[in-house]
Structure 1
Amino acid sequence: MTKFLLSVHVLAAIIAIGPVTVAASMFPPAVRRARAAGADAVSLSSVRLLHRICRVYSVVGLAVPVFGFATASSLGVLGDAWLIASIVLTAAAAGVLALLVLPGQERLIAGLDGAGAPVARGATSRLGMLTGVFNLLWAIVTVLMIVRPGSTTGV
């Protein structure tokens, strides 16, 4: 059962978190291109698609910690420091995504639509930085999951 849980956990991370990191990274440059093109229909639809990918896959990504906890429980490592650090970093990444990245994307879309403040380059740069923080947190969690400091199977 542990192998099944671990497999689903890893697959969920690849299938759900991967698209969010890529789409979120592509979003700020897409907004800049849309702004330069005068927010035409094609560029605006690309920006909306990237935001929708981020929203949908972030919800699907909730399966990652669910199966992660199940896997950790079956392995008996719930109290290990590397896992606790991974949990904290995962929660931080989720917070950055839910509280900063997705709302920032929505504000920029509203600005392109003319319903919000005009899109400034600083806003796209800030969103790019926040997306980088989100991606860095996931990269650290991935390394912790692979290396597992202090484990008998770690390097």
Structure 2
Amino acid sequence: MTKLVLALHVLAAIIAVGPVTVAASMFPAAARRAASSPGDEVFAGVRILNRICRVYAEVGLAVPVFGFATASLMHVLNSPWLITSIILTAVAALLLGQLVLPRQHALLTALVESTAEPRLDRAATARLAMLTGCFNLLWATVTVLMIVRPGSATGA
């Protein structure tokens, strides 16, 4: 049972978090492109990237659910590496839900409202890129902690 839940946890992380990290990273540059060369195709790409981020963020809720189930089955809920991973995951989720997605939405709104000649504040897209980078760094750190697991029996 532990192996099945662990496999589901890893699959959920790959399938859900991977697309969010890529789409969120691509969004600021795509938004700048949409503002500088307005067109339905460019704008559609920005909307798709935002939709990927929103949908896969919701799907990503399965990652901690399966993670807690795995940790419980493995009796490691009190391990420092796991507690650190839980905290970093929570920070990443808050960053995505409270800062990255709302700023993506604001930029999309700005693009829609200025259809004649879309304009975006370059500083806004730069801040979004920085926040997205922080989100990605948090997930990379959690991934490393999950693999290395300080003090694990694997000897890694």
Query: CA 1:113–1:7 in structure 2 vs 1: closer, same or farther (change >3 Å)?
Result: same
Note the residue ranges of structure 1 that are not aligned, 5 or more in a row.
none
Contact kept in structure 2, 1:27 and 1:50, CA below 8 Å: yes
Cα offset for 1:140? 0.1
1:33-80: CA deviation from partner (whole Å, max 9, x where unpaired): 001103x21111110000000000000000000000000000000000
| Residue of structure 2 in register with 1:33 after alignment | 33
Whole-Å separation in 2 of the counterparts to 1:12 and 1:145: 14
| Residue of structure 2 in register with 1:59 after alignment | 58
Residue 119 of structure 1 aligns to a residue whose secondary structure is: coil
| Residue of structure 1 in register with 2:93 after alignment | 94
Deviating runs (4+, > 2 A) in structure 1?
none
Query: CA 1:154–1:60 in structure 2 vs 1: closer, same or farther (change >3 Å)?
Result: farther
| Residue of structure 1 in register with 2:144 after alignment | 143
| Residue of structure 1 in register with 2:125 after alignment | 124
1:70-92: CA deviation from partner (whole Å, max 9, x where unpaired): 00000000000000000000000
**TM-score for the superposition, normalised by structure 2:** 0.95
| Residue of structure 2 in register with 1:76 after alignment | 75
Cα offset for 1:151? 1.3
Residue 153 of structure 2 aligns to a residue whose secondary structure is: coil
1:107-135: CA deviation from partner (whole Å, max 9, x where unpaired): 000010116x9411111000000000000
Cα offset for 1:154? 4.1
Query: CA 1:154–1:13 in structure 2 vs 1: closer, same or farther (change >3 Å)?
Result: farther
| Residue of structure 1 in register with 2:9 after alignment | 9
Contact kept in structure 2, 1:148 and 1:154, CA below 8 Å: no
Question: Aligned residue pairs: how many?
Answer: 153
Amino acid at match of 2:13: A
Contact kept in structure 2, 1:146 and 1:154, CA below 8 Å: no
Query: CA 1:154–1:105 in structure 2 vs 1: closer, same or farther (change >3 Å)?
Result: farther
Contact kept in structure 2, 1:77 and 1:83, CA below 8 Å: yes
Identity of aligned residues (%): 64
Whole-Å separation in 2 of the counterparts to 1:118 and 1:150: 52
Contact kept in structure 1, 2:27 and 2:49, CA below 8 Å: yes
